Structure 1
């Protein structure tokens, strides 16, 4: 008898045959430079834990203390009975850290994009979106109902051409770009994009998920990096990467924050972030405001690892950030490379279509301040051995 769900099995079988099936590994240790993955201790080149804060004792202590005071969950959405003084403190601290007038926190960076785009534009409007923007931007844009016009990746000239071509066809316009592109590790030319959007009176939104805690003075992000304070209308951030916890933030104009409180659907219809998560995020701000040591170490590790990988003959793409793609081409090779790395003691996952375009599969190495020089040297040694075994390098 044919099941109405047989098509799903066929699709899954197709993914496996094409070498695109994602085998999800299981961790049984805290995040750090080393992990226990599927029962094996391996060097971690996979997590977004840029500053090593996910298991920092100061963060753990902050979360533990707040559990005793507030419990583990808010039990309500923010707009009814879920807004705690902790949430407001986080928002005040994030606004100060980012150098903006106001901020609002949400459950994740993904939720931040889903909340924000639809409250800024609708069916009579247009979105100009970088062709490599994150899935959460794409989904938020689709939910808005606005017409979506893609512009060539990191190309302000093409953005302006698309704006000119669409003139007169919309009520409001919003340009959106990632700050740091998560697959390639390149940085959007936000200063040049701002020149275009300000010239044409187009709202500007940047998703700084991989720039927060990485770019700018002491990790204050891409707007600080380009000295664009007060010029970018909306900054989206995540607290699950460099901050090491979970959550999202929207920073910028008090008007936009107030409007999100009234109409942002994840804010209105999904329970608030938990007290220990919020407390840990505040602790992360304390750490970043107190010292640039972790950000400095992250960049020192990044420069060393990238230079040595290039010396070995690996193609690391166009990255200018700690995200280090090892370009391999086809997905089956990338998956085989990942398996060989794991067998040798490195956890670094393969990324293929649809996460990246066909023919651009890779291993994405995520460098962290938690890595010691010995860790990096160990990783380089294993990459070299696997690269030669699979004829990626000579």
Structure 2
């Protein structure tokens, strides 16, 4: 059973404990793609299985090092036997050049930061809550997001593109997402804050969202 840890467009979470229960009932294996959860969810950013307390029941956890970790590459965390198997047969591993030492050093340093500076993750979540609540108070539809990934659902591709373009002119970058990446009627802007934003930054962004949203008749 394969699932995302955090769904990239809606920012919601899977019912991972129930998925694990189902897998164990039918003697199946669970694999979690934590590309959007590594460095964000769980203690010190260890991911969605840690967030739900089912690390020992998820045999395979994969993810990227190019998002929250801020480098490039990825990882597959599993058993030694699966690791040996992937090294022997995985095409991306067999037919790719290895990363230069500088990339490896960057990844290790970023993981050290996650382990020793948990306040950065706390700041990320504080910023996410502040921004998400601000959008809701303005009347925007943020869908079912439970994470820092926060959609602003517009419901029309052209309007979403216009919203994105006009926000950019105001100094705010929020990417427009349309069909078929998301269902028709769910076209949106996809926003995400970082631990590097200040409350002043977010207040400024919310003012621009209000200005452009009213201009386009979205709120």
Q: What's the TM-score once normalised by structure 1's chain length?
A: 0.55
CA distance in 1, matches of 2:156, 2:123: 33
- Structure-2 residue corresponding to 1:273: 99
- Structure-1 residue corresponding to 2:145: 319
Deviation of the 1:319 alpha carbon = 0.2
Question: Relative contact order (C-alpha < 8 Å, sep 6+): which is higher?
Answer: 1
- Structure-2 residue corresponding to 1:217: 43
Note if contact 2:154-2:186 (Cα within 8 Å) is conserved in structure 1: yes
Deviation of the 1:253 alpha carbon = 1.1
Deviation of the 1:360 alpha carbon = 1.1
- Structure-2 residue corresponding to 1:263: 89
Query: Where do residues 241-320 of structure 1 align in structure 2 (5 Å cutoff)?
Result: 241-320=67-146
CA distance in 2, matches of 1:374, 1:319: 23
CA distance in 2, matches of 1:215, 1:240: 16
CA distance in 1, matches of 2:193, 2:15: 23
- Structure-1 residue corresponding to 2:4: 178
- Structure-2 residue corresponding to 1:237: 63
Q: What stretches of structure 1 move > 4 A for 4+ residues in a row?
A: none
Note if contact 2:38-2:64 (Cα within 8 Å) is conserved in structure 1: yes
Q: What's the TM-score once normalised by structure 2's chain length?
A: 0.98
Note if contact 2:13-2:146 (Cα within 8 Å) is conserved in structure 1: yes
Partner secondary structure for residue 298 of structure 1: helix
- Structure-2 residue corresponding to 1:329: 155
Partner secondary structure for residue 357 of structure 1: coil
Deviation of the 1:344 alpha carbon = 1.2
**Higher Rg of the two aligned structures:** 1
Deviation of the 1:390 alpha carbon = 0.5
Note if contact 2:128-2:192 (Cα within 8 Å) is conserved in structure 1: no
- Structure-1 residue corresponding to 2:183: 357
**Aligned pair partner of 2:172 in 346, 349, 352:** 346
Deviation of the 1:323 alpha carbon = 0.3
Deviation of the 1:312 alpha carbon = 0.4
> Structure 2: where are the runs of 5+ without partners?
none
Deviation of the 1:308 alpha carbon = 0.9
Partner secondary structure for residue 329 of structure 1: coil
- Structure-2 residue corresponding to 1:8: none
Total equivalences in the alignment: 219
Deviation of the 1:354 alpha carbon = 2.1
> Structure 1: where are the runs of 5+ without partners?
1-174
Deviation of the 1:274 alpha carbon = 2.2
